[in-house]
Structure formats: C-alpha cells, structure tokens
C-alpha cells in the first residue's frame, strides 16, 4: 500500500506479478485480489485478473491442468489471454504485463536479473520489488542491485533484514516485509470489538492504517514500512481501523464503542497491556 502511495498508482489499477506460486505466493496474490476488490467495489474474480502468478512451469495457465494445485487454479489465466506461441517465462510476462509490483516467493536466488528489472523499469517510474524468499541467500535479488538497475527508483522491501544501500550519494533504507507490525493491532482490534469474525475489509483497513505511517510517504528513500520499535503506537492505529470497520460491517459485538475518533483512541489505549513489571514493596 505504501509503495503504491509513493508511486502514485491507485490500488484499483495496480498490476502485480507474483513469482513463486506456492502457498506463500498464492496467499499474497489472494490477499492483493481481496484488497483490489474491496477498494474498487468489484467482484474478487474480476480483481484477480490484475494478478499474474508464475511457478516452475511459467505463467499459470488453465491448460496446465493437473500440474496446478487447487489454489493455483484460481489464478491460472485462460490460454486465450496469452498470445499463442509466446514464452511464459518471467521476462516475457514482465514485457507484456508491465507490472507495477513484482513479488518473489520462489526461493530461487538471483531470479530477478538485471534484464528483468530493467525491463520492468522501462514501463513504470517506480518499480515496486519485493524479494521475499527466506533466508537471505535465497532472495530473488539484492537491494543494492535493484537500486543500481533502476537508477535508484525502485521501491524495495525484503523478506529478511538488509542494511541501507547507497546510490549516487543517497542512502536508501530497506524495509523488512513481515507481519510483526500488523498482527498485534489486528488481534487487539478483533478482541476489543468482539467481532464475530475478521473480515477481508478489516485486513484491508489494517493495511491502509499501517501504510499511512510509512516513513517513505515523507521521503522515498526511507523504508516502506514503519519500524517495529514503534509497534505499540502502530498497533493502536491498526486496532482503531479494525474496530471502525467491524462496527461499519455490523460485526462488532462490544457495546459502547466510542464513535468519536479521539475517544476511540483513548478507549483502546487504556485497554492495552503495559509490558512492564509493577514495583514491589517489601512488607
């Protein structure tokens, strides 16, 4: 979400390529599709058309039949959507799709080559590239290379910690893309609202709340995600978004949830656990 804000691409218009269509890749693709559908008010099946998944056989196509897992079938494209005889490898997909976002969950080190990244950068001003495979040795690309291949324009988050990179005298900080800054607030909001379930709209609201605090919104050389050291204040903001959405959807069962935003923040804050020891007195 933060990357889209920085690159000025609307969520409803985003084009995403997921390289690696195992459980992680298809899970990410599914969540992105939910977010697009929620934002645009369209059916999820229509939103999924903006996501292209690639696995060991190349772009997922319906004709691949039994070689596809049950989850992969949801993202497989109709063969008629792809020119007959055209390659279905990552570079070919990048050339035709011109994605704003490239996500790696393939555990294939170096898969995002200079040629692939430069091709992506030809079509979008700020390529959003997330090499998420763990551990570090399995990353699809190194942040330093991504900066150099895009003249410093790539917006990068990784699955493992990386030090800042230097390009043309500018230091670019790299965000570690994991759920540690999101889940505490989602759980807090769900518990305090006593929601019947955690809906897709709540997850999207949580993502937006988190993205709104991204340092990159003020400076594109800063990380795309807030620091985990700020998790307490982040959790409050995420919880607030989750609770407000639960109320809007009629899922919140807790009575007396404040409507005023300031009152709601205080209501959440006083119920947050303080991670500290109480002072003991010897008697």
* Binding-site residue positions: 134, 178
Q: Which residues contact 62 (CB under 8 A, 6 or more apart)?
A: 73, 76, 77, 78, 79
Give strand ranges (E) for 20-137: 51-55, 58-59, 101-104, 128-131
Other Cβ atoms less than 10 A from the Cβ of 17: the count is: 22
- Taking a C-beta distance cutoff of 8 angstroms, is the pair 206, 242 a contact? yes
Q: Which residues are annotated as a binding site for (S)-malate?
A: 134, 178
Alpha-carbon span 81 to 104, nearest angstrom: 23
Cα-based distances in Å from 103 to 52, 133, 199, 242, 280 = 10, 9, 24, 26, 51
Q: Count CA atoms within 13 Å of residue 176 on its CB side.
A: 14
Q: DSSP secondary-structure letter at 125?
A: S
Assigned token pair, 7: 């690159």
């Amino acid at each position: 979400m933060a990357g889209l804000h920085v690159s000025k691409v609307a969520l409803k218009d985003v084009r995403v390529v997921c390289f690696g269509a195992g459980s992680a890749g298809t899970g990410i693709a599914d969540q992105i599709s939910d977010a697009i559908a929620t934002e645009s008010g369209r059916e999820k099946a229509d939103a999924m058309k903006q996501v292209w998944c690639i696995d060991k056989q190349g772009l997922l196509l319906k004709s691949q039949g039994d070689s596809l897992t049950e989850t992969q079938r949801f993202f497989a494209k109709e063969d008629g959507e792809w020119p007959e005889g055209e390659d279905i490898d990552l570079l070919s997909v990048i050339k035709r799709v011109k994605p704003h976002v490239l996500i790696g969950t393939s555990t294939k080190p170096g898969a995002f080559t200079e040629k692939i990244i430069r091709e992506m950068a030809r079509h979008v001003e700020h390529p959003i590239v997330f090499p998420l495979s763990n551990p570090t040795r399995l990353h699809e690309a190194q942040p330093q290379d991504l900066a150099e291949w895009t003249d410093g324009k790539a917006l990068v988050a990784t699955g493992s910690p990386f030090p800042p990179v230097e390009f043309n005298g500018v230091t670019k900080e790299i965000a570690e893309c994991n759920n540690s800054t999101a889940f505490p607030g989602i759980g807090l909001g769900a518990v305090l609202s006593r929601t019947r379930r955690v809906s897709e709209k709540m997850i999207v609201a949580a993502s937006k709340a988190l993205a709104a605090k991204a340092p990159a919104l003020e400076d594109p050389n800063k990380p795309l995600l807030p620091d985990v050291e700020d998790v307490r204040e982040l959790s409050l903001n995420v919880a607030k978004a989750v609770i407000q959405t639960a109320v809007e959807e009629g899922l919140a069962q807790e009575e007396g949830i404040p409507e005023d935003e300031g009152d709601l923040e205080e209501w959440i804050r006083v119920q947050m656990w303080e991670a500290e020891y109480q002072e003991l007195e010897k008697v």
